[in-house]
Amino acid sequence: IHTRPDPGREQRKGAPEVILGATKETTQIISMAHGLLAGTGRAIISRLRPESVLPLQTEFQAYTVRTLAAARAMAIYRPDYIRKQTGGHIGVISAGTSDIPVAEEAGLIAEEMGCRITTIYDVGVAGLHRLFGPLRELLTQEVDVIIVAAGMDGALPSVIAGLVPVPVIGLPTSIGYGLGGNGVAALLSMLQTCAPGLSVVNIDNGVGAGITAALIANRVAQAREHQSR
Amino acid sequence: IHTRPDPGREQRKGAPEVILGATKETTQIISMAHGLLAGTGRAIISRLRPESVLPLQTEFQAYTVRTLAAARAMAIYRPDYIRKQTGGHIGVISAGTSDIPVAEEAGLIAEEMGCRITTIYDVGVAGLHRLFGPLRELLTQEVDVIIVAAGMDGALPSVIAGLVPVPVIGLPTSIGYGLGGNGVAALLSMLQTCAPGLSVVNIDNGVGAGITAALIANRVAQAREHQSR
Amino acid sequence: IHTRPDPGREQRKGAPEVILGATKETTQIISMAHGLLAGTGRAIISRLRPESVLPLQTEFQAYTVRTLAAARAMAIYRPDYIRKQTGGHIGVISAGTSDIPVAEEAGLIAEEMGCRITTIYDVGVAGLHRLFGPLRELLTQEVDVIIVAAGMDGALPSVIAGLVPVPVIGLPTSIGYGLGGNGVAALLSMLQTCAPGLSVVNIDNGVGAGITAALIANRVAQAREHQSR
Amino acid sequence: IHTRPDPGREQRKGAPEVILGATKETTQIISMAHGLLAGTGRAIISRLRPESVLPLQTEFQAYTVRTLAAARAMAIYRPDYIRKQTGGHIGVISAGTSDIPVAEEAGLIAEEMGCRITTIYDVGVAGLHRLFGPLRELLTQEVDVIIVAAGMDGALPSVIAGLVPVPVIGLPTSIGYGLGGNGVAALLSMLQTCAPGLSVVNIDNGVGAGITAALIANRVAQAREHQSR
Amino acid sequence: IHTRPDPGREQRKGAPEVILGATKETTQIISMAHGLLAGTGRAIISRLRPESVLPLQTEFQAYTVRTLAAARAMAIYRPDYIRKQTGGHIGVISAGTSDIPVAEEAGLIAEEMGCRITTIYDVGVAGLHRLFGPLRELLTQEVDVIIVAAGMDGALPSVIAGLVPVPVIGLPTSIGYGLGGNGVAALLSMLQTCAPGLSVVNIDNGVGAGITAALIANRVAQAREHQSR
Amino acid sequence: IHTRPDPGREQRKGAPEVILGATKETTQIISMAHGLLAGTGRAIISRLRPESVLPLQTEFQAYTVRTLAAARAMAIYRPDYIRKQTGGHIGVISAGTSDIPVAEEAGLIAEEMGCRITTIYDVGVAGLHRLFGPLRELLTQEVDVIIVAAGMDGALPSVIAGLVPVPVIGLPTSIGYGLGGNGVAALLSMLQTCAPGLSVVNIDNGVGAGITAALIANRVAQAREHQSR
Amino acid sequence: IHTRPDPGREQRKGAPEVILGATKETTQIISMAHGLLAGTGRAIISRLRPESVLPLQTEFQAYTVRTLAAARAMAIYRPDYIRKQTGGHIGVISAGTSDIPVAEEAGLIAEEMGCRITTIYDVGVAGLHRLFGPLRELLTQEVDVIIVAAGMDGALPSVIAGLVPVPVIGLPTSIGYGLGGNGVAALLSMLQTCAPGLSVVNIDNGVGAGITAALIANRVAQAREHQSR
Amino acid sequence: IHTRPDPGREQRKGAPEVILGATKETTQIISMAHGLLAGTGRAIISRLRPESVLPLQTEFQAYTVRTLAAARAMAIYRPDYIRKQTGGHIGVISAGTSDIPVAEEAGLIAEEMGCRITTIYDVGVAGLHRLFGPLRELLTQEVDVIIVAAGMDGALPSVIAGLVPVPVIGLPTSIGYGLGGNGVAALLSMLQTCAPGLSVVNIDNGVGAGITAALIANRVAQAREHQSR
Ligand SMILES: Nc1ncnc2c1ncn2[C@@H]1O[C@H](COP(=O)(O)O)[C@@H](O)[C@H]1O
Ligand SMILES: Nc1ncnc2c1ncn2[C@@H]1O[C@H](COP(=O)(O)O)[C@@H](O)[C@H]1O
Ligand SMILES: Nc1ncnc2c1ncn2[C@@H]1O[C@H](COP(=O)(O)O)[C@@H](O)[C@H]1O
Ligand SMILES: Nc1ncnc2c1ncn2[C@@H]1O[C@H](COP(=O)(O)O)[C@@H](O)[C@H]1O
Ligand SMILES: [Mg+2]
Ligand SMILES: [Mg+2]
Ligand SMILES: [Mg+2]
Ligand SMILES: [Mg+2]
Ligand SMILES: [Mg+2]
Ligand SMILES: [Mg+2]
Ligand SMILES: [Mg+2]
Ligand SMILES: [Mg+2]
């Protein structure tokens, strides 16, 4: 069976191809990773199942391997690979502790696209007072865009989008049970936001949130770049 | 066709029977209102259609008629009827201006059950700074329970339930369009709340929220009563 | 990764922080429990997985550990911890035997918030005659609020709310299969109740029902307190 | 355009063809009614729009016309038509006043199929005490099957199916707003019933409930018939 | 924890209590079965998990044990128990082979309620010619009611209800994948039937279909009984 | 505002552009029709609102106008336009009389694509005996594909696909109320078909069914053509 | 009834307050518009009902009134108001002609936030060849972000996000009927996109898409600004 | 338990009976396969569980066994069985690599029905440039119908149906997570297609897509056959 990888994506889109590990055999991941390493010098794998971690680390001993347990992700680089720094700066906020893995996945992708990440975790609306200090500090550091990961009621992205002057990406997570559980209420609440400037990606789509945020931040950074030159 | 009104409800439940005007002919409302006036001295009609208002006012000229346009509701009293004051105190908060009619409906029922109402309207999460001052004042006045009406994202009840030490009744309103519109996202988000002490009623059910809140406040007030005696 | 516990919740809300055991590693639970024990003298864990019970009992040998198998919950106290008794009194009713675990969870939380609990279990509408006697007795004992746990048709809370003069909290449980299964029909039926004074929490949310009921009962009890002083 | 009426249905099924008036032009109804009158001596029209009533009464002046306003239905008989009496007996119960039209539609069809109808209306679970007396009386009269029409929470059919020794047909009605509104919660709650012996038809399907109940009652009556001969 | 079994159900409803085995521990089933055996001389268990079969057979060696593998069910009788024969006759039809277990469950319950069962299996609409012969024979044998189990498209019950003069109970099964899978399309299609005299129970509810059919058949049989006397 | 009509569609796809009349102003339809007439010599309008019919007939007096009331559609031809006859033959079957307009829409489009249409209307599963004769005749006439329009239970397409050796296009119609109403149950039942060789289009999409069927029939006809040459 | 407008939003968020005209009386709109004109010198009204247009134009004769029929929107400026030009550049693409009003609404808001808009309309995937030329030109002009409005299948935003190196905002429109109609399929398809860098707003939320895009473009433009200084 | 296989299906429909392996015991599959081999000389099993493969290969050693791992399918032939070649030609396209198993299942069935298959895999809309070359080549080879398998956004079938002059069968696959996941968005997007000539089967129904496509292709081929004779 013949597949058609998209080596030109990074060039064309400014966003890397990502291997979705959850639904692939370890051998399939290894083969796809070799392909990407040959083509672009880097392979990123998301939603890695625990049993794939060791075989991948073993296979790619000769490479630089960055394993992010919390994000269930891995990045493998050719020894000579140098990750670019674009100067883009992204805030990543999570409502609860259970939202952190998805938030981390978003952060990882954005970092791999050259952005700097500042995180504020576990500041959900059940105790909103925890949010204001760190958020003020974040804005002082001039982030270009903020990702807000939240499950359950999904209220935090609306609260933040009501306060900050930068675009906010709502990242619903599959946290919560009962009616509207698994992130459905969170996603719907974000789609129904009464705050301006909030767009969303699908439930648990940290990769999508990270790419979108990085495309925004990198475009801003590029403009800044030109300026400093 | 023989119907079976429930004149004993007020006695049994401490909550009045309410005539749902929306799906009834004016003549049917008039006949039911006469029945309730004869039985309990008062008739409350909710979701009154505009065309029913004048005929009702004409029919009940000899009575005291209280028309609440904003709540689309009417209360009719026998001239000798004296509404009891229980001493219960309820806060009614709305997220937007569009949520006010449903909030007013809730308030009206609670007032008819003898409670005092304090309202804070139009303090949604798109501009949360508008909330804190009035909320602090409300808590100073020792309300026994707070109703929070919100449509769209339905985020406000969670924010408030995270802050106050009294039970909160989430009252979703049918505001909002698109996926999760007509109050669905609001209701789901409230059901998924990450804040403690929030229970909900169905979308636009101001009557239900008002009765629940009044049952709570009246029980507290009754205990206070005993005390002061 | 830095988390932000909310030690002030008990103070601010009158409701304890509860650790949701179902989605956490035993080590994570232990660490969070130590944090709460240090802060407030008590740690409550809900939805404990069987494999976590023994390790927790071993870890907290020096503490008082209360394990409620039926509620899949555990409360750990510092030896010097004294649970307050507020004087609030809550009725907890279940429709079937399968609803008991969720009902017990609600009862446990309410007890930890200082309330007294009286339970009536397995009195569903398939044999309604079993209900009336125990319910009459419950009302004689002057409960301040009643929680009714029901899955499948979810009819019992409406039946009870039609009969009693106190607020009722509907607690749908994830019992039932086919269309409307897993508690969906039960929740919707409660939201659509034709009985006055019923508010609801989400499916299986015993913790939410318990906190809401206890906030109500404790406020009433507090008013009674003042009285007796 | 050529249509294929099913004149043999009454013979084959023991149930009459019924013209659904709601979606047809008055002229179309008249033409179809003439067809059925010619074939079977009777035409039944359900969900008649108000504007069709007078033209139909005028058109069929030479016939016996039975107009049931409450059921929004009409039966037209050839002057020589004699409606058979099967001896079947059906109880028809409604939870609220708003459920009466659909209950009446069910009753009408069952009557046209030769059954005797006994009704109990407006005895919903919000005041269950209203139910017991009339229900006991109904059972004394030896009904063969009971139809229970209910909207909103749909709890009444389960309550009744838990009490009576005859088959119960749940007939959900499109009453109720918000989530689970328009009869959805009622239908789901009936499908999830914890009471034995309850089967259901779709929301507002009075015709279906009536035919099913009459098929049952007529089969019982036929067996009784044989006996008395 | 105190439960309230309903020993009077068989007396009151003419339908036995059934133990749902799927969600219970074997020890719990054994204890409940002993209770029912003591009370009524018989215990019926549905949805028995494989691992419970042997322990139950061992425990009840001194009893008559009827194990129906295909129905995943078991009936245990006190040695002196004599199952009544009511004379009711029920047809049970399945569309595919995968629907047979649920059809068998329905048949078992009906048999335990004293009815005679005649089955026609695997005659779905994908090859409708297989249906007509057996169906004609069934009608010759004068069944009082027909249960039709079908998953996937759920078309068979409508086809049969269009042909036979007895009430039909639609029994949707959780067969089928994709949109409308797990019996949802089957149930909805039955609710939307264009054929007269079809009522339904929930997906996979063989017990409910069996009880409803037996209540109908037994009432007819009882009338026949009286006749022959 | 600049729009981009697709004049090449007929050439590229072998299917004409169709103007959806329901959501367009009459003037907009007229302008688009002139465009298509200029380009291809023909304009087809579907879902024409009644108020647009006369103005269109007036505007295009100099043209050949074909108005199909039942299909709510119109075809306008340049006087010199000659509709090709491909030799494709399509059967169009409807379950009820209410499905006829959508069936006619499908037939019209197929005719405009050069096919011959043979219709069988009102042969739903509530009286299946009406189907067999006409269907046998249809197969004798060698249709290349059959469209089956059905609402409510949507059972007919599965029944037919189980019988015929040609591809069947299921065309669900928005007939039916209650759960699964407006064609939803019909569509789901068709998607879940247990019969081989049935593919579907969306509810009420007569245009889509007609184009698909005509693409199939025309390809067969083209092969036949080549043969006869 | 006291409302709390949010005059500081423009300052705080960089996005103007917008009056949703659809659900407001003309007098209410006029009063709110006066408020905003007094505060910020400009009032923007979206989803204006036709009957409100003339009264508003009359009321604000002394002001500059910009009416955008296609977008059903209006902007009113104090005579001295000067709309800032930020230098941000946004592409707005629509799939069909029916999507244009929502696309125009998005464009209007972005223009009011100081951005330049370039539109490509009616280039849906039914004839994809129409897209490539205009899209290439758009990219040459260096847009900072692209909004893609699409109803029905919602496929166009994914196609475009696969091709361009800038962030794409998916704007589903309520076009389409049947299952997944009213924009639901379009929204879900965008949420499920396999293309990188696509975030979405709710169905028909042109205002939300416009604000999000403008926040992005303005941040880029601001960086460019600094550069050119 | 007596089942009724449909040996005449192949004769009647031109489509083979297929054993759905997923829900059957290996012994059951073996017995059914023997039945089909005896009747038609061939047995096809779809959705074979891994543990059934070896036992089947062992059991049918004396037969020709074709195992298609990627399609999770197996075809067993009597040694003397000769698969007919109809001359029908079908294109099978997949959007991603994850859609390949379902695409292969469709291809297998079509091959077993005598068609020739040409595949293009992994050409999704995230990188549309990969599609055009292979698609042009496919059209040159004169396929009679194209199956397009796609999960997630389901956009590819619409894109292709906009380009090609043959009927397209949309085959949604259960790929994708979050809202609209498991193929739901893909199916809905295909049902909502704005491209002409696209019909669909249910999610993951490769068998259904294969049979439909083969029925079309074989009918065309048959006409061609006649021609060449
Ligand atoms: N965690 C993730 N969430 C969403 N998309 C992903 C994720 N990981 C990889 N992808 C994308 O999913 C697509 C997988 O397609 P395929 O592997 O061809 O079936 C690629 O375009 C990846 O960029
Ligand atoms: N706005 C409202 N929302 C919910 N319930 C209401 C409202 N107004 C009246 N009701 C209740 O709805 C029920 C109406 O039942 P019925 O009139 O018998 O159909 C009564 O129990 C009323 O107390
Ligand atoms: N009744 C109909 N059902 C489905 N599609 C239609 C119908 N009538 C026209 N169309 C198609 O819908 C599309 C209309 O797109 P537009 O007018 O650009 O918004 C065109 O491609 C038409 O061919
Ligand atoms: N993968 C598949 N998807 C859809 N239908 C299938 C599949 N495999 C077999 N079938 C059909 O499903 C039906 C199985 O019915 P039964 O085995 O009687 O329950 C048969 O008609 C098969 O032709
Ligand atoms: Mg936390
Ligand atoms: Mg406001
Ligand atoms: Mg019980
Ligand atoms: Mg009533
Ligand atoms: Mg079979
Ligand atoms: Mg008909
Ligand atoms: Mg167009
Ligand atoms: Mg790929």
Whole-angstrom CA distances from B171 to B107, B136, B157, B187, G108 are 12, 21, 8, 8, 34
Cβ distance of F123 and D187 shorter than 8 Å: no
CA–CA dist B169, H220 (Å, integer): 66
- How much distance in Å is there from the Cα of F63 to the middle of ligand 9? 56
- Do residues D158 and B39 touch, judged by C-beta distance below 8 A? no
Asked if G64 and G139 sit in the same domain, the reply is no
F24 found inside a domain: yes
Using the predicted structure, report yes or no on whether residue D217 has a pLDDT greater than 80: yes
Specify the pLDDT at position D160.
Answer: 97
Asked if G117 and G194 sit in the same domain, the reply is yes
Q: Which chains touch F (3 or more CB pairs under 8 A)?
A: D, E, G, H
Q: Which atom of ligand 2 is nearest to the CA of D122?
A: 18
- Do residues G178 and G185 touch, judged by C-beta distance below 8 A? no
Residue ranges of G 144-173 with Cβ closer than 8 A to chain A: 144-145, 162-167, 169
Would you call C205 an interface residue with chain A, using a CB distance cutoff of 8 Å?
A: yes
CATH of the domain at G49: 3.30.110
Using the predicted structure, report yes or no on whether residue B30 has a pLDDT greater than 90: yes
Q: Which amino acid is at H97?
A: T
DSSP code at position D23: G
Q: How many CB pairs under 8 A join E and F?
A: 119
pLDDT (average), residues C121-148? 92
pLDDT (average), residues B86-112? 96
What residues are paired with E146 via a beta bridge?
A: E91, E168
Specify the pLDDT at position F227.
Answer: 61
A66 found inside a domain: yes
CA–CA dist H147, H151 (Å, integer): 13
Q: What is the pLDDT of residues H132-153, one digit of tens each?
A: 999 999 999 999 999 999 999 9
Using the predicted structure, report yes or no on whether residue B227 has a pLDDT greater than 70: no
Cβ distance of G3 and B178 shorter than 8 Å: no
Of the listed ligands, the closest to the CA of F152 is: 10
Q: What is the pLDDT of residues E160-190, one digit of tens each?
A: 999 999 999 999 999 999 999 999 999 999 9
Cβ distance of D223 and E228 shorter than 8 Å: no
Using the predicted structure, report yes or no on whether residue G57 has a pLDDT greater than 60: yes
Among B111-115, C179-183, D32-36, H209-213, which stretch is predicted with the lowest mean pLDDT? D32-36
Specify the pLDDT at position G11.
Answer: 82
pLDDT grade, residue G2 (50/70/90)? Answer: low
- How much distance in Å is there from the Cα of B115 to the middle of ligand 10? 58
Asked if G94 and G157 sit in the same domain, the reply is yes
pLDDT grade, residue E3 (50/70/90)? Answer: low
Would you call C97 an interface residue with chain E, using a CB distance cutoff of 8 Å?
A: yes
Site of tokens 């103005």: F55
CA–CA dist G96, H194 (Å, integer): 9
Q: Which residues contact B189 (CB under 8 A, 6 or more apart)?
A: A153, A154, A155, A180, A185, A186, A188, A189, B153, B154, B155, B158
The residue that leads in pLDDT, B14 or G220, is G220
CA quadruple D55, D56, D60, D66: dihedral positive or negative?
negative
pLDDT grade, residue H8 (50/70/90)? Answer: confident
A180 found inside a domain: yes
Using the predicted structure, report yes or no on whether residue D70 has a pLDDT greater than 90: no
Q: Which residues contact D158 (CB under 8 A, 6 or more apart)?
A: C125, C126, C153, C155, D189, D190, D193, D194, D195, D198
Using the predicted structure, report yes or no on whether residue E229 has a pLDDT greater than 60: no
Asked if F65 and F151 sit in the same domain, the reply is no
Asked if G22 and G119 sit in the same domain, the reply is no
Asked if B64 and B171 sit in the same domain, the reply is no
- How much distance in Å is there from the Cα of A149 to the middle of ligand 1? 19
To the nearest whole Å, the CA of D179 is away from the closest chain B CA by 7
Q: What is the pLDDT of residues B160-219, one digit of tens each?
A: 999 999 999 999 999 999 999 999 999 999 999 999 999 999 999 999 999 999 999 999
Strands B116-120 and B145-150: unpaired
Asked if D60 and D105 sit in the same domain, the reply is no
Specify the pLDDT at position H180.
Answer: 98
Cβ distance of A178 and C23 shorter than 8 Å: no
Residue ranges of E 68-87 with Cβ closer than 8 A to chain F: none
Using the predicted structure, report yes or no on whether residue D7 has a pLDDT greater than 70: no
Specify the pLDDT at position F64.
Answer: 97
Q: What is the pLDDT of residues G112-169, one digit of tens each?
A: 999 999 999 999 888 888 899 999 999 999 999 999 999 999 999 999 999 999 999 9
Q: State chain G's mean pLDDT as an integer.
A: 93
Using the predicted structure, report yes or no on whether residue C7 has a pLDDT greater than 70: no
pLDDT grade, residue H6 (50/70/90)? Answer: confident
Would you call F129 an interface residue with chain G, using a CB distance cutoff of 8 Å?
A: no
Q: Identify the residue whose C-alpha is closest to ligand 3 atom 14.
A: F20
Both structure tokens of F218: 């025309």
> Which residue of G lies nearest to F20 if distances are taken between CA atoms?
G98
Asked if F62 and F95 sit in the same domain, the reply is no
Specify the pLDDT at position C228.
Answer: 58
D4 found inside a domain: no
Q: Is the CB of E27 under 6 A from ligand 4?
A: no
Among D146-150, D204-208, F159-163, H7-11, which stretch is predicted with the lowest mean pLDDT? H7-11
Q: Is the CB of H20 under 6 A from ligand 4?
A: yes
Using the predicted structure, report yes or no on whether residue D229 has a pLDDT greater than 60: no
> Which residue of F lies nearest to H17 if distances are taken between CA atoms?
F196
What's the number of domains chain D is made of? 2
Q: What is the pLDDT of residues E39-73, one digit of tens each?
A: 999 999 999 999 999 999 999 999 999 999 889 99
Using the predicted structure, report yes or no on whether residue F1 has a pLDDT greater than 70: no
- φ/ψ of H215, rounded to 5, equals -60, -40
Specify the pLDDT at position D1.
Answer: 55
- How much distance in Å is there from the Cα of H4 to the middle of ligand 9? 6
CA–CA dist G74, G56 (Å, integer): 9
Q: What is the pLDDT of residues D140-193, one digit of tens each?
A: 999 999 999 999 999 999 999 999 999 999 999 999 999 999 999 999 999 999
Residue to test with chain F: of D202, D205, D207, D211, most F Cβ within 10 A: D202
Strands F18-20 and E198-200: unpaired
pLDDT (average), residues C69-90? 95
Q: Which atom of ligand 4 is nearest to the CA of E122?
A: 18
Specify the pLDDT at position E126.
Answer: 87
Q: Which of B37, B52, B77 is the last residue of a domain?
A: B77
- How much distance in Å is there from the Cα of A203 to the middle of ligand 12? 21
A65 found inside a domain: yes
Specify the pLDDT at position F223.
Answer: 94
Q: How many CB pairs under 8 A join F and H?
A: 113
Q: Is the CB of G192 under 6 A from ligand 1?
A: no
Of the listed ligands, the closest to the CA of F122 is: 10
Q: How many CB pairs under 8 A join A and H?
A: 42
Q: Which chains touch H (3 or more CB pairs under 8 A)?
A: A, E, F, G
Asked if F144 and F212 sit in the same domain, the reply is yes
Q: Is the CB of D189 under 6 A from ligand 2?
A: no
Give chain H positions within 8 Å (CB) of F165.
Answer: 12-14, 215
- Do residues G150 and G165 touch, judged by C-beta distance below 8 A? no
Whole-angstrom CA distances from H217 to A19, A49, F212, H145 are 37, 42, 14, 6
Would you call E100 an interface residue with chain H, using a CB distance cutoff of 8 Å?
A: yes
- Mapped onto helix, strand or coil, the DSSP state of residue F71 is helix
To the nearest whole Å, the CA of A188 is away from the closest chain H CA by 10
What is the separation of C-alpha H161 from the centre of its chain, rounded to a whole number of angstroms? 18
> Which residue of H lies nearest to G125 if distances are taken between CA atoms?
H159
Specify the pLDDT at position D5.
Answer: 65
Share of chain F above pLDDT 70, in %: 97
Q: What is the pLDDT of residues G18-51, one digit of tens each?
A: 999 988 889 989 999 999 999 999 999 999 999 9
Instruction: Choose among G50, G225, G57, G195: nearest CA to G125.
Output: G195
CA–CA dist F145, H218 (Å, integer): 12
> Which residue of H lies nearest to G95 if distances are taken between CA atoms?
H194
Asked if B129 and B198 sit in the same domain, the reply is yes
Among C193-207, D32-46, E7-21, which stretch is predicted with the lowest mean pLDDT? E7-21
- How much distance in Å is there from the Cα of D21 to the middle of ligand 10? 13
A84 found inside a domain: no
DSSP code at position A174: S
Compare CB distances from E158 to F125, F163, F176 and report the shortest one's residue: F125
CA–CA dist E26, E18 (Å, integer): 15
Using the predicted structure, report yes or no on whether residue D18 has a pLDDT greater than 90: yes
Q: Which chains touch C (3 or more CB pairs under 8 A)?
A: A, B, D, E
Q: Which of E77, E101, E118 is the last residue of a domain?
A: E77
Specify the pLDDT at position G228.
Answer: 59
Q: Which residues contact B54 (CB under 8 A, 6 or more apart)?
A: none
The residue that leads in pLDDT, C167 or F4, is C167
Q: Which of B25, B47, B77 is the last residue of a domain?
A: B77
Instruction: Choose among C141, C131, C188, C129: nearest CA to C166.
Output: C141
E214 found inside a domain: yes
Q: What is the pLDDT of residues F39-64, one digit of tens each?
A: 999 999 999 999 999 999 999 999 99
Asked if G187 and G105 sit in the same domain, the reply is yes
Using the predicted structure, report yes or no on whether residue G95 has a pLDDT greater than 80: yes
Asked if F71 and F101 sit in the same domain, the reply is no
CATH of the domain at D109: 3.40.50.1970
Using the predicted structure, report yes or no on whether residue B112 has a pLDDT greater than 90: yes
Q: Is the CB of F189 under 6 A from ligand 3?
A: no
Both structure tokens of B76: 């009719």
pLDDT grade, residue H225 (50/70/90)? Answer: confident
> Which residue of D lies nearest to E18 if distances are taken between CA atoms?
D196
Q: What is the pLDDT of residues D76-101, one digit of tens each?
A: 999 999 999 999 999 999 999 999 99
Whole-angstrom CA distances from A207 to A35, A120, E228, F56, H112 are 20, 18, 76, 52, 41
Using the predicted structure, report yes or no on whether residue E130 has a pLDDT greater than 90: no
- Do residues B155 and A155 touch, judged by C-beta distance below 8 A? yes
Q: Is the CB of H212 under 6 A from ligand 4?
A: no
Q: Is the CB of A38 under 6 A from ligand 1?
A: no
Would you call H211 an interface residue with chain F, using a CB distance cutoff of 8 Å?
A: yes
pLDDT grade, residue H117 (50/70/90)? Answer: very high
G41 found inside a domain: yes
Task: Bin E14: left if φ > 0, else alpha if -120 < ψ < 50, else beta.
Answer: left
pLDDT grade, residue B124 (50/70/90)? Answer: confident
Q: Is the CB of E122 under 6 A from ligand 4?
A: yes
- How much distance in Å is there from the Cα of D68 to the middle of ligand 2? 25
> Which residue positions in chain A have pLDDT lower than 50?
none
Q: What is the pLDDT of residues D184-195, one digit of tens each?
A: 999 999 999 999
- Domain that includes residue D35, residue range: 16-77
Give chain B positions within 8 Å (CB) of A153.
Answer: 154-155, 158, 189-190, 192-195
Strands E168-172 and E145-150: parallel
Q: How many CB atoms lie within 10 A of CB D85?
A: 11
- φ/ψ of D75, rounded to 5, equals -125, 130
Which protein residues have their CB within 5 A of the ion that is ligand 7? C 96, 122
E-assigned strand segments in chain F: 18-20, 42-46, 64-68, 73-77, 89-94, 116-120, 145-150, 168-172, 198-200
Q: Is the CB of A212 under 6 A from ligand 1?
A: no
Specify the pLDDT at position B5.
Answer: 66
Specify the pLDDT at position A6.
Answer: 72
- Do residues A217 and A90 touch, judged by C-beta distance below 8 A? yes
pLDDT (average), residues G190-212? 97
